[in-house]
């Protein structure tokens, strides 16, 4: 039962040793395919090369049910330079295998740079790859490692017999690596005039050669085909927005029948409005146009571009108070918020909208005002009033906005206290959560006093705030115990009972998690990674589990550490990316500073994460 593990361990002996190599070679003939694979993999890792080892590794690589062993086989083939013509065929089959994981296919795409093969034939085979990201990786790898690739791609880009998606990928690759190559620029300019406007224009933009095709793009921007118009506008907005010819196109495109084209043009124009009077003048003229949509579009661009005068605010105000569609209202409120950075009247419009007769308007205004960094007293008063709004969505939004602006006001505590018994349960829970945040800085003696408050919301908030403390003064705990039986007022006794119960529950949670972590640490030190990983997982589950009412920031940080160590155990057991990466992602989500730890570890030799370095998800985590 231990033979596969033994074969793997023999393969980790640096020198190999004649007895170890002999044992592994004998294992190649074992009837158990798992033992064969581990022996072949270990021999390859020791630098041994022969057809038998290659065939076993290729067989494992081709096994669609192989899981993580497929990746291990490919790594070993690469390490030992065993990829010959048969290996190249296996790589191509893997790249065309729709059932293979993207991580494995990306690794295979990078491996193409290590093979010797007829380039036109290889590129023809790559036309069958269905995943655009994998195809991009394969072409980029080949173009950078094998110069002859570029010559073949240049021939394929204008060839309409080649599948369009492949030609698109080829154009993108050429744009990335071409530099100042005039021949490639010529090919891409020709492609603009064929059926690859978008990709070729982007590639030329990356090369810094977009000025050569602005006239062609301007022509396509007026094409009856919306796809051509969109591609032209996208390219001009991205790579040549300051050119007068581009500005003319963008001003026209802002009135296009297609919303996505209008949106792209508007975004570009908002960045140009403050620097080009031609743009600002055209937009100001639109503010008095007969079409309300044209007025609103112009006001939005000017507000986004930092030119929100009173005429802009007036248009946005009419829109805010005359539109009831939630999506449109949200967009208008956002623009008013932007305009408020230059014109205080815009924020006043949002404040007035809190009392609009339509709940959708009130809701949109409350949501936008929650993004203010320093709301005025008038705005804060308006948000406090909307906590009593008859519409539950408005109450909920106002509560969320007040939490964002961090209002430290006694009136907010009273308002939230009243909301804890809201008819909508979720609003009551949100109010209680907000109260515990507001009360967190308070001293224990103040929270004890609140247990006797006449309003139930205050008492409930004090109970839960006390229970959230990682540690309490023993005297505080004793006072709560005495209040449970010695207090005359029944509501105070009830609050004390609830506080005592939650405090005991939290103490049990923390002590249990601590015991599990200590046990996991001991097992980790003893190199029992399988058992250690299980205990780390249990500790993280206790700290974040739903059986406990609250998870504090401290709980999340500790749970993140436990998940990080669980992933480390999986890495040392070489369980494969699917067993390791989700654990790491959870660890960094719970404890973001662990990202720095991970990056620091990957910069040192002999770290635990070596087999993950080729996985895109891992590289994203470490910023590589």
pLDDT band at 537 (very low <50, low <70, confident <90, very high): very high
pLDDT per position as a tens digit, 410-438 = 677 777 777 777 778 788 777 777 777 77
300 token code pair: 């939005």
pLDDT at 14: 44
pLDDT at 315: 93
Residue 15 pLDDT = 41
> Where does the pLDDT of residue 564 fall: very low under 50, low under 70, confident under 90, or very high at 90 and above?
very high
Q: Please compute the mean of the pLDDT values over residues 489-493 and round it to a whole number.
A: 76
- pTM assigned to the model: 0.55
For 38-73, b/e burial (b = at least 16 CB within 10 A) is bbbbbbbbbebeeeebbebbbbbbeeeebebbbbbb
DSSP codes of every residue in 484-534 = HHH-SSHHHHHHHHHHHHHHHHHHHHHHHHHHHHHHHHHHHHTT-HHHHHH
pLDDT digits (tens, 9 = 90+) for 389-405: 999 999 999 888 887 87
Which 8-state DSSP code applies to residue 354?
Answer: T
Say what the pLDDT of residue 37 is.
67
At residue 67, the pLDDT reads 61
Instruction: Specify the range with the lowest mean pLDDT, choosing from 178-192, 364-378, 523-537.
Output: 178-192
Residue 49 has pLDDT above 50, yes or no: yes
CA–CA distance, 233 with 223 (Å, rounded to integer): 11
- Mean pLDDT, rounded, of the chain: 81
Local structure of 351: helix, strand or coil: helix
Among 119-128, 330-339, 369-378, 540-549, which stretch is predicted with the lowest mean pLDDT? 540-549
Q: Is the pLDDT of residue 18 over 60?
A: no
**The token pair that represents 59 in the structure block:** 């067989």
Please report the pLDDT score of residue 79 as a whole number: 64
Share of the chain above pLDDT 90, in %: 24
Stronger pLDDT, 488 or 242, i.e. the higher one = 242
- Are 279 and 273 in contact by the 8 Å Cβ rule? The answer is yes
What pLDDT shows up at residue 594? Answer: 92
How does residue 2 score in pLDDT terms, banded at 50, 70 and 90? very low
End-to-end CA distance of the chain: 39
558 — pLDDT class (breaks 50, 70, 90): very high
**Mean pLDDT, residues 82-111 taken together:** 79
Q: Which two tokens stand for residue 227?
A: 């796809």
How far is residue 12's CA from residue 41's CA, in Å, rounded to a whole number?
A: 10
Residue 278 pLDDT > 50: yes
CA 9 – CA 622 distance, rounded (Å):
29
- Predicted pLDDT at 523: 94
How far is it between the farthest Cα atoms of the chain? 92
Q: What pLDDT score does 16 carry?
A: 44
Query: Closest Cα partner for 142 from 114, 184, 121?
Result: 114
pLDDT for 7 equals: 46
Are the C-beta atoms of residues 158 and 170 closer than 8 Å to each other?
Answer: no
| pLDDT value, residue 115 | 77
> Looking at residue 176, what is its pLDDT?
78
Provide the Cα torsion 241, 243, 248, 251; round to 10°: 20
Q: State both tokens at 16.
A: 């190999």
Query: What is the mean pLDDT of the segment spanning 468-480?
Result: 77
Q: Whole-angstrom Cα distance, residue 578 to residue 594?
A: 20
Please tell me the distance from the alpha carbon of residue 607 to that of residue 603, in angstroms, as a whole number.
Answer: 8
* pLDDT(156) > 90: no
Say if residues 170 and 139 touch (Cβ distance below 8 Å): yes
User: What does DSSP assign to residue 494?
Assistant: H
Closest CA to 621 of 583, 570, 576: 583
């Amino acid at each position: 039962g231990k033979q596969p593990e033994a074969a793997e361990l023999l393969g980790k002996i640096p020198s190999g040793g004649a007895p170890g190599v002999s044992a592994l070679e004998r294992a190649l003939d074992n009837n158990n395919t798992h033992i064969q694979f581990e022996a072949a993999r270990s021999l390859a890792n020791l630098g041994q090369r022969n057809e038998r080892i290659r065939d076993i590794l290729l067989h494992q690589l081709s096994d669609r049910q192989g899981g993580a062993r497929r990746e291990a086989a490919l790594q070993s083939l690469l390490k030992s330079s065993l990829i010959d013509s048969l290996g190249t065929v296996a790589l191509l089959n893997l790249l065309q295998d729709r059932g293979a994981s993207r991580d494995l296919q990306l690794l295979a795409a990078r491996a193409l740079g290590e093979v010797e093969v007829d380039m036109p034939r290889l590129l023809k085979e790559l036309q069958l790859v269905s995943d655009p990201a994998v195809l991009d990786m394969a072409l980029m790898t080949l173009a950078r490692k094998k110069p002859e690739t570029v010559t073949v791609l240049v021939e394929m880009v204008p060839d309409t017999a080649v599948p369009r998606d492949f030609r698109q990928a080829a154009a993108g690759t050429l744009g990335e690596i071409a530099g100042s190559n005039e021949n490639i620029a010529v090919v891409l300019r020709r492609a603009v005039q064929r059926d690859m406007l978008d990709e070729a224009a982007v590639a030329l933009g990356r090369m810094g050669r977009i000025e050569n095709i602005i006239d062609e793009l301007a022509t396509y921007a007026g094409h009856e085909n919306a796809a051509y118009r969109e591609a032209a506008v996208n390219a001009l907005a991205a790579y040549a927005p300051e050119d007068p010819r581009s500005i003319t196109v963008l001003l026209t495109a802002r009135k296009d029948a297609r919303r996505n084209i209008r949106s792209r043009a508007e975004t570009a124009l908002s960045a140009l409005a403050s620097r080009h009077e031609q743009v600002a003048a055209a937009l100001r003229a639109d503010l008095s146009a007969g079409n309300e949509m044209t007025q609103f579009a112009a006001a939005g661009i000017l507000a986004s571009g930092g030119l929100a005068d009173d005429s802009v605010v007036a248009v946005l105000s009419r829109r805010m108070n005359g539109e009831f569609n939630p999506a449109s209202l949200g967009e208008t409120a956002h623009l008013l918020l932007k305009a408020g950075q230059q014109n205080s009247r815009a924020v006043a419009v949002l404040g007035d909208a809190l009392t609009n007769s339509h709940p959708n308007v009130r809701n949109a205004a409350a949501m936008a005002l929650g993004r203010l960094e320093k709301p005025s007293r008038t705005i804060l008063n308006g948000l406090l009033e909307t906590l009593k709004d008859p519409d539950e969505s408005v109450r909920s939004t106002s509560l969320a906005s007040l939490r964002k602006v961090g209002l430290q006001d006694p009136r907010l505590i009273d308002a939230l206290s009243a909301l804890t018994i809201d008819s909508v349960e979720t609003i009551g829970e949100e109010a209680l959560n907000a109260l515990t945040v507001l009360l967190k800085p308070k001293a224990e003696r103040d929270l004890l006093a609140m247990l006797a408050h006449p309003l139930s919301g205050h008492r409930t908030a004090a109970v839960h705030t006390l229970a959230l403390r990682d540690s309490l003064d023993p005297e505080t705990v004793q006072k709560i115990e005495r209040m449970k039986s010695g207090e005359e007022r029944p509501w105070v006794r009830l609050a004390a009972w609830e506080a005592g119960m939650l405090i005991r529950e939290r103490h049990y949670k923390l002590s249990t998690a601590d015991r599990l972590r200590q046990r996991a640490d001991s097992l980790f030190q003893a190199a029992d990674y399988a058992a250690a990983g299980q205990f780390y997982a249990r500790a993280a589950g206790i700290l974040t589990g739903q059986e406990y009412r609250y998870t504090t920031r401290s709980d999340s940080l500790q749970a993140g550490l436990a998940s990080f160590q669980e992933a480390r155990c999986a890495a040392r057991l070489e369980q494969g990316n699917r067993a390791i990466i989700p654990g790491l992602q959870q660890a960094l989500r719970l404890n973001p500073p662990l990202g720095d730890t991970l990056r620091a570890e990957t910069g040192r030799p002999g770290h635990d994460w070596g087999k993950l370095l080729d996985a895109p998800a891992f590289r994203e985590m470490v910023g590589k």
